[in-house]
Amino acid sequence: MKRHKISVFIVAVTLSFLAANAFNHALSTSSTTVEEADSSIHPVYLVEIEGAITAGQKNFLRRQVKNAIDIKAQLLVVRINTPGGLVDATTEFNELILNTAIPVAVFVAPSGAIAGSAGAFILMASDIAVMAPGTTVGAAKPVAVSPEGTAEAGEKTIAFYASYMRNIAEKQGRPGDIAERFVTENLSLGAGEALEKGMIEYLAGDVHELMNIVDRIEIEKLGKVHKLNTAGAPVKQDEMTIGEKFQNWLGNPQIAFLVLMAGFLGIYFGLSAPGTIVPEVAGVILLIMGIYGIGLFDVNTTGIILLLLGLGLIIAEIFTSGFGILGVGGALSIVAGAIMLPVEPLMASDWYTSFIVTVIGVVLGLLIIILVIVQRIVHSRRRWTGGSAHFNPPEKGVAVNDLDPEGRIKARGEYWRARSIDGSKIPAGAEVKVIKAETLLLWVRTTEDKESNTAADK
């Protein structure tokens, strides 16, 4: 039975993999790529950042910087509208901006947008700081989160980030004392006031107006002078991948906290009601994703852990009677792990889409197999309860492990769930006799008990 089950599993997975690849091939051959006409003017690359600054946004920006350099863009424009974000993601944002080989303009837009907290740090790190009329920057004092709520961070923390803000602002030629007040005093400035105080260089209503304003200016960066020729230049832009969207959603502090708590609750309820399986499996998966969301795991570690967890759950499904729960949990864990893995920079963008489609194809195949197996088990259980004409349990067996009072025995080359009929402990290796059967559970006693009872009768 076990060998047949594993063979069917292997064949079905292979067929699912081949079908997924055939679908990928059809998808790639039927798609068309539209390219803009060749132009002697290098393009401007636009990146849009909306909402909290998270690990997903950071990974998205890193990929966009790579794309901008690959197409030889003359300027990278990062349009932001953010209330703030995670510290690690913000500092990595700034590292990317400061160390990118091409000039980076950070543009707070559209009208009504804000560059709050983390957004103020990012704006100060830019080579060209631009705001749309009606936008606001500032309020960057760090806060500490506790069970009682949020409170102002300690003096050391505030002093550190005030110094960090001053340093990046002065490096980019902006007044460090005013930038420092964003942190120490929660200073906020409107677009016009920020221009007047020298915190930004330009006001612009949209990206095309920005491009016209900065046309013909020279920017020195990393020892090289860049003369911009942006008026009328083509604008390139890319969207977030599925993985980046998922990482961005999960990196939202509120979402991460809810996912983390759901994971803890799942494990708690699972331990409170052993044998249910569903809460434990869901709890472990959610716990891993929640830990990533709050920033304790990086995206590579999280993706690999979820993939390994999924593989382990599927293997456990094969060799145990999980009734499909372990397999479904494993399949979902593999999908989540594949989505969490970052886009490989040296791979073509089409490869990532094909990879995700392949993973989903294989997982769907696994789910179909698991559902078929579960359906067969359920059908068999219903049929066996119909009477002895459909179910012939073994007469004898050998205990595989201790029955205390329940465990497993081996009979007729198969493993069976068994329980001591009198509640006593039966050691592993003992020969047992089947007294009665209830669906797939055998009630047994040792053959020694039978012999001793017979001797006593005599």
Is it the case that residue 286 has pLDDT exceeding 90?
no
Beta pairing partners, 356: none
Phi and psi torsions of 14, nearest 5°? -60, -45
- Look at residue 22 and tell me whether its pLDDT is greater than 50: no
pLDDT of residue 61: 92
Domains and CATH numbers, the chain: 2-27+243-382 (no CATH), 44-233 (3.90.226.10), 393-457 (2.40.50.140)
φ, ψ for residue 193, nearest 5 deg: -70, -40
Determine the Cα–Cα distance for residues 313 and 117; give it in Å rounded to an integer.
42
Q: How confident is the model at residue 284 (pLDDT cuts 50, 70, 90)?
A: confident
Average pLDDT (144-154) is 59
The pLDDT of 158-172, averaged and rounded, is 95
Query: CA-to-CA distance for 168 and 90, rounded, in angstroms?
Result: 13
pLDDT at 272 over 90: no
pLDDT band at residue 33 under the 50/70/90 scheme: very low
Q: Of all residues in the chain, what percent carry a pLDDT higher than 70?
A: 65
What pTM, to 2 d.p., does this model score? Answer: 0.58
Is 453 a residue whose pLDDT tops 70? Answer: no
Pick the more confident residue, 147 or 108: 108
Quick one: pLDDT band at residue 15, thresholds 50, 70, 90?
A: very low
Checking if the pLDDT of 301 tops 70, the result is no
Q: What is the pLDDT of residue 84?
A: 87
User: Would you state the torsion angle of the CA atoms of residues 14, 20, 21, 26, taken in this order, to the nearest 10 degrees?
Assistant: 150
Is pLDDT larger for residue 34 or for residue 169?
Answer: 169
Cα separation, 100 vs 448, whole angstroms: 80
- Choose from 252-261, 305-314, 436-445 the range with maximum mean pLDDT: 436-445
pLDDT digits (tens, 9 = 90+) for 311-357: 677 666 656 655 566 666 767 777 676 665 554 433 344 544 555 56
* Residue 159: per-residue pLDDT: 93
Structure tokens at 72: 């030889």
Q: Which residue has better confidence, 457 or 184?
A: 184
**Predicted confidence (pLDDT) per residue in 40-69, tens digit:** 689 999 999 998 888 788 888 999 999 999
